[in-house]
Structure formats: C-alpha cells, structure tokens
A and B are shown apart, each in its own frame.
Chain A
C-alpha cells in the first residue's frame, strides 16, 4: 500500500521552566493512501506536535517527514488541515474566510464555497461574521477550510470538539465519504475512541512521545481478547497478576492472556487466597486497548 505520509525517527523537545520536555522520541509512522487513519494518545502524548511538524508549523529536532514522497511547501498544497481548535478571523464571514484562505492557497475557491458550506451544514450562516459562531459552527467552518483545496490528505485534529451528537454523526459520515467517494486519505486525531473505532481503518497509539501500538483496527480488537475475572480482594489480585491486569470497575480485572494460560492464572489467584467469582473472555474495545497501553492516562 502506498504511504502518503512517511515520518521517520522524528524527535522534538521543548524547553520549559522545569527543563526540556521530550514531545516526540524517534517517532516513525506511515499513513497509507485511501483510508481513515486514527492517531490516539492521552493529553501531552505528542499527537498535536506531530501534526504541527507535518504541516510545517514546528521544526523537528531530528528525523524527517515526507508527504507524497517529497518534503517542502509544494507537498503541503495537497494537504488540508484543521489543527486543534479552529483558528478563524472574527471579522470575516464564513464565505469570506473560505475565499481568503483559498487565495492564500493560490486558488479561486469562489465557485466551490456554496457546496462546501452545504456539505458541513453552514449554508444558513454563510454570510454571518465568525465572531458570532458557536464552537461547533467554528469546527464546521474549520473542516470546510480543510477541504477547500480538494486535498488528497486531510488532517483533522479533534474535529468534533464542541459538537452535539448529531453533529458528530454528520462528521463521521463526512469522513467516510471523503475516503469512499472522494478518494482522499484522512488522518484523524481524536479523544472520542468509540468514534475512532467506528470510522478509522487503522490506528496508532502514542504515549509519552513514542508509538506504542499500530495496526488495523479490526486486527487490534480481534487479537487482543482478554479474560475478565471478578475477584476479591481486587487490590491483592492486581498485585499478583502485575502489569498484565488492569481494573475494569470495582470488582473485576481485565487480564491479557492466551486461552492456554487461563487455567494457570485462575489457579495462581486461588492459591494466593483470592476469591474468584466469575471469569469470561471479552473482546476488547479500542478504548480498553488504549487504557491498557497508556496506563489509563487520558
């Protein structure tokens, strides 16, 4: 599969009052063409830093990033992006914003603006100044601006922030539509793991600036089935099983184990004085994989 975005050994640290902080450590990632790719990680994991490096907003200390096999400004013309909260000029209307951003990109966006605003549900507010927009409306306009140049790669960082459930559903449909109908590739960073699981084909999970899990969503979810054991006392059980177990509510543990290991695990618990009330196999969600691999950070 052709990689649209190739990042190799990217490192970036920031100076802070308490000393340098590593935002990314030898981070490498390939985003294949024609899919929705999810980028997950707790706050401060390095997702936004990585996306800003891709877009030329931040310079990496080491490593390199290639888009469409090349680096530099020319490749960025084939990318549309919405990074964190939408950044808009308060004195411009939605239509003027798109017209101005189109000109900055070197295109006359005029003929496409009506259709774009319709696609993100902003037709009625097209000629209203942005200063009066709600956060959800700003997000929609930010998404429209990302799609302005009909980009081959769309990068969206938390695109559903501030949106109501119906709006989130619309964006989910739009993202799939971008890939399935327009042939674009979407790189999506989001905290809404259930949404990511529904819409993404492939995901990468970052923690502390490093890649910890990467793969096809269905493979990750299918591969990592786990044993859910209801026990008491849970603290002692957790200590016996160590890092392979994470809590699932007040009385249960989720344990990473193969089918062959299960009897031995239960015997270990019983021998350790733990009462075992129930055990069953569960298919993990993306959320449980995320919490497991990031130590529950959010």
Chain B
C-alpha cells in the first residue's frame, strides 16, 4: 500500500514541472553553467590554478556530491520541500488524499519522493562537476588522472559524501515539513527552514574550535562539512580539524533527520484538517 502512495507522490511531482525544475534541476544546471564560465574565463593554460585543478578530478566530484557547501542548492531544495509538504495546504488537497491512505504513509511517501529527487540533484551536481573537470583538462591541457577515480578510497569517499548530502537534504525537508504542518503555508515553511539553516550556520561559524568536545557536530552544516573533510583526508589530502569528527557527522545528521521527521509526523497525525 505504501508503495502505491509513494508512486502517487512521485507521479505528482513528475508532473509539477516548475517545482521539478527549480527545486531539483536548477542547482545542477547552475553548477554546470557557472563552472563552464569559470573554467573558460578564468583558468588559463599553464596557470598555477590549472595545474592543481586539472588533475584533481576526485576533488571536483567530491565538491559535486557535497551539496551542503552549495547554499543555492540548499535554498532550492527548501523551496521544493515546501511545495511538497505545504502545497497540500495551499491547494487544499489533504482532504482528497488523507481518506485514501494513512497519514503516516502519506508523510513517508513525501519524504521518499523528496529523497528520490534529491538523489537526482546530487548526481546532477556530480555530473556537472565531471563535465567541468573534463572541460578544464581541455582548456588547461592537463591530463585527467582517471585511475584515481577507480580507487576504492575514492569511491568510498564519494559514497560517504553523497550519503551525507542526501541525509542533509532530507534533514532540510524534515525541517520544512515541521514548518509546513505548523504554519500550513509554502512561503512560511520555506522561510522558517531557510532562516533556521542560516542561523545554524552562523552559530557554527561563531563556535570556537574545540577538539575535546565537538558539540558543533550537532549543527547540520558543520556535520556535513566534517564528513566532507573526513572524506578528503581519506584520499590523503591534508585534512582540516573538522575531519576528525567526520565519523560523527553522518550519524548526527541521521539522528537529526529522524528527530525532525518524527516531530512532523507526530504533529500531522494529531492535526485537525478542518481547514487547509
């Protein structure tokens, strides 16, 4: 039964073309366009920058996977999540679907649908970075170090960073879902999640490094970037202090996602849909 509900949610999103494009496809498109412009205009053959970037294909791909460091992608995902969760209030469509499936299944279906398309965004950004790196190697006439990609460490690093990005995207969706159920508005839920994320980033930037007590790993931005730093260190690059807490970053994101998702579900299960 829940599979049907998930299929229905994905079907709905597939036909909501504006949301599909702006929430999930615009970030890879923007990454590609801006990357190409940057490579063509600012990276010249033989420059110091080209010698570094031209060979670091894995680094390009890691950057592509890590949407946590891409504020534009996060903002667009917030808009997508707001449409998915709060759209039902805006269009007054809860009353059409709640009697057809359980409330729990409907919420789970929304998270799964969002997750499926967020994976597309992450893969799209990664693909965009791959195209940019190939273009860069052509512009700078620097050979790409393809074998490096096939190394088990590189694949593991990309997998871990991609997974962290997906969970971070789901966490964003769960924060939006809580706002959507409480405020029943697309704009209000999106803005609340956006300001919450910006606030958390500000807090993360103000907390002084503390090697003994990594409390800032509970902040989503810090947790995601620590996973990226950890993956970077795995590939032998000099790691930032954050790398040390990378192993904690992934479970921290997972726990936070579950927490917000359960809060949104608990609120929705008890909510009276006397108006939407």
A positions within 8 Å CB-CB of B: 14, 49, 52, 55-59, 73, 76-77, 79, 81, 83-92, 96, 99-101, 103-107, 145, 149
Q: Give the most central of A49, A84, A91: most B CB within 10 Å.
A: A91
Cross-interface CB contact of B8 among A49, A79, A100, cutoff 8 Å: A100
B96 within 8 Å of A (CB atoms):
yes
Q: Answer yes or no: B7 CB below 8 A from chain A CBs.
A: yes
Instruction: Report yes or no: B4 in contact with A106, Cβ–Cβ below 8 A.
Output: yes
Residues of B within 8 A of A (CB): 1, 4-5, 7-8, 11-12, 15-18, 91-102, 106, 270, 272-274, 276
**What are some 5 contacts across the A-B interface (CB < 8 A)?**
A57-B99, A73-B101, A88-B91, A89-B16, A104-B4
A99 to B272, CA, bound (A): 27
The DSSP consensus for interface residues of chain A is: loop
Shortest CB–CB separation between residue A149 and chain B, in angstroms? Answer: 8
What residues on A are CB-neighbors of B8 within 8 Å?
Answer: 100-101, 103-104
Q: State in angstroms the CA–CA spacing of A259 and B16 once bound together.
A: 66
Residues of A within 8 A of B102 (CB): 73
* A58-B273, A73-B102 as given contacts; A89 in contact with B95, CB under 8 Å: no
Number of A-B contacts (CB under 8 A): 87
* Chain B residues closer than 8 Å to A88, beta-carbon distance: 91, 93, 96
A103–B274 touching, CB < 8 Å: no
User: How far does the Cβ of A128 sit from chain B's closest Cβ, in whole Å?
Assistant: 13
Q: Say yes or no: A87-B5 contact (C-beta < 8 A), given A76-B99, A81-B99.
A: no
Which residue in chain A gives the minimum CB-CB distance to B272? A58
Known: A101-B100, A106-B101. A91 touches B93 (CB 8 A): no
Contact yes or no, B272 A89, CB < 8 A? no
Option from A89, A104, A106 in Cβ contact (under 8 Å) with B91: A89
Chain B hits for A55, CB < 8 A: 95, 98-99
Min distance, Cβ B14 to any Cβ of chain A, angstroms: 10
Which residues of chain A come closer than 8 Å to B101, judged between CB atoms? 73, 104-106
Using A101-B96, A104-B4 as known contacts, say yes or no to A87 and B276 having CB atoms under 8 A apart. yes
CA distance A52 to B98 in the complex (A): 10
